[in-house]
Chains A and B, each alone.
Chain A
């Protein structure tokens, strides 16, 4: 549950990308502070739509897009938003982009929109996005916030894909709808059911903890 508060804010609009360790802002979201596996944020969509790999990927990308746009807007408005109403303003900004995403997905693929259902709208209350806005974008320059959002977004998508791939592989015997196992493979129905989501995430967390412990001891 680490939530690193960043060092003091840079001044310029884009900040000084060169002399700060900005690659670190990008890398940290991928693995060290992975939003799902390490920070355990944004659980609801993670578990709910990760029953197939394609759903998980679409949900991850939609969330990453909203995260990127809201981080850009929040960080560029960070000097104008009064402290008292900042959370409400962030939620409004996020809700606007989520509504846009909702309509865009509906325009691209009606099937996908049906599969994801209300969970696209529920990106609004994904704690990951609000926590990045509050903990990072409101204190840092636009350039840094973009990198942070990209890293976190890709890390989130990666984690969702890990879950979705395992669940679809075991529960359906396929990956991206393409059959993967021989004919007589017995599907693990439980993996597509809600319970499977809990189990898969628990197992990923255990694997994650185990690797971390191994690295700490060596």
Chain B
């Protein structure tokens, strides 16, 4: 396990064990924000950015908690840090680039309750990754999330023109498409070995 190359970690997090399609993480934004291509790309970018920052913070916090022998506080401190990171990022973007801030709108605060962010923090500590490995892992997870979101948005934009029976419309249809996407992503399973 310790010998994993950085490239393998990236491919593993983004394609083989895609956070959305294999781990079911971040399904809420996946179902909610994948209606339009434009918002999907922005959401993906914002999530990746927050993932990177919170992954860095989580690494430091975990080291601190181990040092003072209080790992049972892990979950509580992670969630607080993620919530405040999102707040910080929000203020920073608002100050630096009001245009980008307006474009992201409601998505920024919503990121706090995106389970994929917390999962990155938890998985990297469970796997015992070092600092650089954690960063690559977060980057891969974010790339995978963005990829799934963009693919889904593209498909849904096409589906708007399709003639779908009334009872299947909405969430059910999105889930069916997600299932087929998930099947196709299984084709990547052989990449790692």
Q: Is the CB of A193 within 8 A of B186?
A: yes
The answer to whether A197 and B24 have CB atoms under 8 Å apart is yes
User: Would you give the shortest CB distance from A173 to chain B, in whole angstroms?
Assistant: 21
A47: chain B residues at CB < 8 Å are 24, 27
Q: Is the CB of B24 within 8 A of A124?
A: no
A74 to B21, CA, bound (A): 34
B46: chain A residues within 8 A (beta carbon): none
Query: Are the C-beta atoms of A99 and B72 separated by less than 8 Å?
Result: yes
User: Which residues in window 75-132 of B have CB below 8 A to A?
Assistant: 75-76, 79-80, 83, 112-115, 118-119, 122-123, 126
Q: Shortest CB–CB separation between residue B181 and chain A, in angstroms? A: 8
The answer to whether A95 touches B75 (Cβ under 8 A) is: yes
Bound Cα distance A130, B167 (Å): 29
Tell yes or no: B175 within 8 A of A by CB.
Answer: yes
Q: B142 contacts the other chain (Cβ, under 8 Å)? A: no
Evaluate contact between A206 and B167: CB separation under 8 angstroms.
yes
Bound: A160/B26 CA distance, A? 18
B77 to chain A, nearest CB (A): 9
Number of residues of chain B lying within 8 A (CB) of chain A: 38
Contact A121 B83 (CB under 8 A): no
CB distance from B114 to the nearest CB of A (A): 7
Chain A residues contacting B175 (CB-CB under 8 Å) are 198-199, 201-202, 205
B72, B80, B115: residue with the most chain A Cβ atoms closer than 10 Å = B115
A-B pairs with beta carbons under 8 A, tally = 108
Within 8 A of B (CB), among A21-51: 40-41, 43-44, 47-48
CB pair A98 B75 closer than 8 Å? yes
On whether A195 and B179 interact (CB within 8 A), knowing A40-B31, A122-B115, the answer reads yes
When distances are taken between beta carbons in the complex, the residues of chain B under 8 Å from A44 are: 24-28, 115
Main secondary structure, interface of B, reads: helix
Q: Is A194 an interface residue (CB 8 A)?
A: yes
How distant is B62 from chain A, measured CB to nearest CB, in Å? 13
Beta-carbon contacts of A168-208 to B below 8 Å, as 1s and 0s?
00000000000000000000001001111111011101100
Complex interface: chain B residues within 8 A of A127 (CB): 28, 113
> In the assembled complex, how far is the CB of residue A109 from the closest CB belonging to chain B, in whole angstroms?
19
Is there contact, CB below 8 Å, between A198 and B182?
A: yes
**Residue in B21, B24, B176 whose CB lies within 8 Å of A202:** B176
Q: How far is the CA of A36 from the CA of B86 in the complex (A)?
A: 27
State in angstroms the CA–CA spacing of A204 and B122 once bound together.
Answer: 31
Q: How far is the CB of A150 from chain B (nearest CB, A)?
A: 23
Q: A92-B80, A99-B72, A206-B168 are in contact. Are A125 and B176 (CB under 8 A)?
A: no
Residues of A129-177 whose CB lies within 8 A of B: 130
Let me know if A111 is at the binding interface, CB within 8 A. Answer: no
Which residues of B have CB within 8 Å of A17? none
B64 contacts partner chain A, Cβ-Cβ < 8 Å: no
Contact B72 A198 (CB under 8 A): no
**Contact residue among A103, A126, A213 (Cβ-Cβ distance under 8 Å from B72):** A103
A213 to B118 CA separation, bound complex (whole angstroms): 38
Q: Which of B113, B167, B173 contacts A125 (CB 8 A)?
A: B113
Q: Add 15 more A-B contacts to A130-B113, A209-B168, A210-B167 (CB < 8 A).
A: A48-B23, A96-B76, A99-B75, A122-B118, A122-B119, A124-B79, A125-B113, A125-B114, A193-B183, A194-B23, A197-B24, A202-B173, A202-B175, A213-B166, A213-B167
- What are 21 residue pairs bridging A and B, where the CB atoms are less than 8 Å apart in the complex? A40-B171, A43-B28, A44-B27, A47-B27, A88-B83, A91-B79, A92-B76, A122-B115, A122-B119, A124-B79, A126-B115, A127-B113, A193-B183, A194-B24, A195-B179, A198-B176, A198-B178, A199-B175, A205-B175, A209-B167, A209-B168
Identify the A interface with B (CB < 8 A).
40-41, 43-44, 47-48, 88, 91-92, 95-96, 98-99, 102-103, 118, 121-122, 124-127, 130, 190, 193-199, 201-203, 205-206, 209-210, 213
